[in-house]
Structure 1
Amino acid sequence: MLSLFLFSFAILVTPGPNNIVLLTTSINYGIKETIPNLLGIWFGFGLLIIIGTSSLGFFINETPFLLIGLKIFGFVYILYLAYKIFKNNSFDAENKKPINFFESTLLQISNPKGLILIFAIVTNFWMVNESYLYNLLYLIFFLISVSVVSNLIWVALGVIMKRKLSNNFLSIFNKFMALVLVLTTFYSYAVTI
């Protein structure tokens, strides 16, 4: 269990689309407005685990055009989220809307980092002597627990940074984070192709 924790935590705590979006959302809108984003990510992660461990996950693995379609959708969607972050240049939360539950769920389902994690865990940590349902429930509970910890680290960092940022610096920060999101997306997709 320790090796699964270390492996999953190392992947989940590092910068990726979800953590970058959580950081920028918590800086721009505060913790209360970040909660739907967190819940959407965790719900989407549960769905991703179900998809990745089911026969559909193996079907996608065996049928490259489905995986390519998912990658294209995810790539375009993450670029759209980067654009939303790029355009936000002030703490004026009344005129802007944070990323919502549905958008966060889509982000997680289309996240290449999440897909890589699920397939790596299924191939390395699947307990062959246990039933599919046991494995599924174990992975959902375990991985979402690790995700909660790693995601909350990024939200806390955002809340701390919000206290230190001015509107001028926030605009620069958002543009920088949008660029980081685009670059990590390009990198993630380049690695998975």
Structure 2
Amino acid sequence: MDTTSFFVYCLISTFTPGPTNILILSTVTNAGTKKAMIFSYGSTIGFGLLLVCSAALSSVLLSVMPKFITVLQVIGSAYMVYLAYRMVRSRHSESDVNQKATFRFGVLLQFLNPKTVLFALTVIPAFILPTYRGFTGLSVGIAAITLIGFAAFFTWVLFGTVFKTFLQKHHTAANLIMALFLAYAAVMIWV
């Protein structure tokens, strides 16, 4: 496994703005840290469960269809390039997300968030399964990815206000840098 590409893919996918991170940022600024942490705990549990489902689904599909990894690599790479393009083309706008950020919604959102679902469906077969097929290897991989996800959620809680100010001030440059890293991760899936 190419550890560098794995970590770049995980870090960019979990730390860049998406529905979960934007809702965390909004919750920190509107309802406070405690409420945002409760939502983050639920998001972490949901993220871990989604990874477990992905590992189980990927393992079953790989035994039935070995070309499944290639399909997921193509879809995942195309989606990452699309996200990179969207980041570069996006315009700054004030988000007025005003939903209740509960533990339950944090869990549910991970299964409804296309960014998270596609990430879970690509990271396991692209990085973990080619090297580790046993229960222990899968468990360690899922635990590592879940911890990276929690670190991303916690970072958005902890520095929510700072990130919001920074991203508003340097929106174009920040998006370009994130887009370049995401494009790099998309290419590295094939190397």
Q: TM-score, length-normalised on structure 1? A: 0.58
The count of aligned residue pairs is 132
- Residue 160 of structure 1 and its aligned partner are, at CA, apart by 4.4
Larger mean CA deviation between 119-128 and 140-149 belongs to: 119-128
Runs of at least 5 residues in structure 2 that lack an aligned partner in the other structure: 66-94, 169-191
C-alpha distance in structure 1 between counterparts of 2:97 and 2:53, whole Å? 33
Let me know the Cα RMSD of the aligned residues.
Answer: 2.9
* Kept in 1: contact 2:26–2:97 (CA 8 A): no
Percent sequence identity over aligned pairs? 26
By how many angstroms is 1:134 displaced? 1.9
Q: Which deviations, in whole Å up to 9, do the C-alpha atoms of 1:50-89 show, x marking residues without a partner?
A: 1111138866xx9xxxxxxxxxxxxxxxxxxxxxx8474x
Tell me which of 27, 39, 48 is aligned to 1:25.
Answer: 27
Deviation at 1:131, TM superposition (A): 3.8
Q: How does 1:82-161 map to 2 (within 5 A)?
A: 86=96, 88=98, 98-128=100-130, 130-160=132-162
| 2-structure distance, mates of 1:53, 1:135 | 11
Runs of 4+ off more than 6 Å: none
Structure 1: gaps of 5 or more residues:
63-84, 89-96, 165-172, 174-193
The match for 1:183 is: none
User: How far off its partner does 1:25 sit?
Assistant: 0.5
1:32 partner SS: helix
1:123–1:129 distance in 2 versus 1, CA, 3 Å: closer
d(CA) in 1 for partners of 2:129, 2:118? 19
Please say if residues 39 and 102 of structure 2, whose CA atoms lie closer than 8 Å, have aligned partners that are also in contact: yes
Structure 1 residues 58 and 18: CA distance shift in structure 2, 3 A: farther
- Going from structure 1 to structure 2, the CA distance change for 1:39 and 1:57 (only over 3 Å counts) comes to farther
